[in-house]
A and B are shown apart, each in its own frame.
Chain A
């Protein structure tokens, strides 16, 4: 199976909360990341969490990490139409002495009025 798994689509109403879930495989990952890709643009780092943390909050974003279950989630409060994008979960996997970021397939978030 894939190293990083996430659901492909999520549709929410403007103003509601969005929760995007991800499971990963490498327990030695030091950092776990959420990247955002807006239509026609490259990926940008949205937020990250250090592996010894279980929660990180940044304005409307909340990242939860469950190391036991290797589960990562991103919660967006008060979702806006501008949040419509593809969200990629990523972990760093050790390969050849270095850590290589490994990405999931991305979750397309659609926000409708």
Chain B
């Protein structure tokens, strides 16, 4: 596809369950980013990948959060034992990782933890 896609678009889960969010970046983009956007808040940086490596994991809010990227393409963000405070829109973006480094954002996954 031409843009960044994310799935699912909406996810409702029960507290304590694990969820997996997927991001398909633009082909050729070496950098991939995950952000969290809570209602009325800015973008909270979670993690970024350069290729398949994540040099900076300091933004992950707790050890319940993990992410991986394979084939310098698809990335998954996993949240274990979800809590109500995890409810937010999770945004993925990709870029060439250099120069102006414009980020191209996906539409997001809206996660609701009941």
Number of interface residues of B (CB under 8 A): 23
A7 CB within 8 Å of chain B = no
Q: Give chain A's interface secondary structure class.
A: strand
B71 CB within 8 Å of chain A = no
Contact A98 B102 (CB under 8 A): no
Contact A42 B108 (CB under 8 A): yes
* Contact flag A101-B33 (CB < 8 Å), given A42-B91, A88-B42, A96-B55: yes
Contact B58 A95 (CB under 8 A): yes
Q: How far is the CA of A12 from the CA of B78 in the complex (A)?
A: 41
Stretch of B11-19, B43-51, B61-69 on the interface side? B43-51
B100 CB within 8 Å of chain A = yes
A45 CB within 8 Å of chain B = yes
Task: Output the nearest chain B residue to A44 by Cβ-Cβ distance.
Answer: B105
Chain A interface (Cβ within 8 Å of chain B)?
A: 2, 4, 31, 35, 41-45, 48, 88, 92, 95-106
